[in-house]
Chain A
Amino acid sequence: MAMKAKTKSKIEVTFIYLFFLVMFIVIGYPLVWTIAMSLNPGSNMLVTQLIPENPTLEHYKWLFTDPNSDYVTWYKNSLGVAIANALGSVVLTSFVAYAFSRYKFVGRKYGLYMFLLLQMFPVLMGMVALYILLTTVGLSDSLIGLTIIYLGGQIPFNAWLVKGYFDTIPKELDEAAKIDGAGHLRIFWTIMLPLAKPILAVVALFNFMAPFMDFLLPRIVLTSPEKYTLALGLYNFINDQFSTNFTVFAAGAILIALPIALVFLILQRYLIGGLTAGATKG
Chain B
Amino acid sequence: MATNSESRFDLKQPRNIAMLLSIVPGLGQLYNRRFFKGILIFIIAASFLVTTWNYIDIGIWGLFTLGTVPREHHSIQLLIQGLISIIVLLFGISFYIYNLLDARSDAKAREVGRPKPTFLKAAGDFYDKGFPYFMVIPGLIMLLFIVVVPLAFMIGLAFTDYNQYNAPPRNLLNWVGFDNFVSLVNVDIWKDTFLSVFTWTVVWTVVATTLQIVLGLFLALLVNDKRIKFKRTIRTVLILPWAVPAFVSILIFSALFNPTFGAINRDILSQFNLMIPWLTDPFWAKIALIMIQTWLGFPFVFALFTGVLQSVPSDMYEAADVDGGSRWQKFRFITLPHVLFATAPLLIMQYAQNFNNFNIIYLFNEGNPAVRGQNAGGTDILISWVYKLTFETNNYNMAAAITIIMGIIISAFAFFQFRKTASFKEEGRY
Q: Which residues of A contact B (CB under 8 A)?
A: 9, 12-13, 16-17, 19-20, 23-24, 26-28, 30-31, 33-34, 37, 45-46, 48, 50, 92-93, 95-96, 98-100, 102-105, 108, 111, 113, 116-118, 120-130, 132-133, 136, 148-149, 151-153, 155-156, 159, 184, 209, 212-216, 220, 231, 234-235, 238, 242-243, 246, 249-250, 253, 256-257, 260-261, 264-265, 268, 272-273, 275-276, 279-282
Contacts and interface: CB of A to CB of B under 8 A. Distances in A.
A212 B245 contact: yes
B9 interface: no
Nearest to A108: B132
Nearest to A24: B237
A136 B131 CA distance: 32
A256 B245 contact: yes
Contact of B153 (A128, A256, A273, A280): A128
Contact of B142 (A12, A92, A250, A264): A92
12 contacts: A9-B227, A30-B252, A103-B131, A125-B150, A126-B154, A128-B153, A133-B80, A215-B359, A242-B258, A257-B244, A272-B306, A276-B342
Contact of B248 (A100, A220, A253): A253
B304 A121 contact: no
A121 B251 contact: no
Q: Which has the most chain A C-beta neighbours within 10 Å: B139, B247, B399, B418? A: B139
B222 A16 contact: yes
Interface string B309-345: 0000000000000000000000000000000001101
Contacts of B399: 128
A250 B249 CA distance: 10
Contacts of B139: 92-93, 95-96, 155, 159
B295 A122 contact: no
Contacts of A253: 248, 251-252
B237 A27 contact: yes
B421 interface: yes
Interface in B245-262: 245-249, 251-253, 255-256, 258, 260-261
Contacts of A282: 345, 421, 424
A238 B142 CA distance: 35
B135 A96 contact: yes
Contacts of B308: 276
B184 interface: no
A20 B251 contact: no
A213 to B, nearest CB: 4
B368 interface: no
Nearest to A16: B222
B352 A149 contact: no
Contact of A95 (B135, B145, B153, B306): B135
B244 A261 contact: yes
B403 interface: yes
Contact of A279 (B248, B251, B346, B406): B346
A30 B264 CA distance: 10
B249 A30 contact: yes
Secondary structure call for the A interface:
helix
B252 A34 contact: yes
Contacts, number: 250
Interface string B403-424: 1001100110110011001001
Contacts of B274: none
Nearest to A151: B142
Contacts of A113: 418
Contacts of B253: 30
A133 B303 CA distance: 39
Given A12-B227, A96-B136, A184-B128, 19 more contacts: A30-B249, A103-B132, A105-B136, A120-B352, A122-B356, A123-B146, A123-B147, A123-B150, A124-B383, A126-B154, A153-B146, A155-B143, A156-B147, A231-B247, A250-B252, A253-B248, A256-B245, A257-B245, A280-B343
8 A-B pairs with the lowest CB-CB distances in the bound complex, closest first: A126-B150, A152-B146, A129-B153, A103-B132, A129-B150, A45-B261, A261-B243, A152-B142
Nearest to A113: B418
B70 interface: no
Contacts of A280: 342-343, 345-346, 424, 429-430
B151 A121 contact: yes
Contacts of B77: 132, 136
B222 A19 contact: yes
A118 B242 CA distance: 24
Nearest to B424: A280
A98 B303 CA distance: 28
A33 B147 contact: no
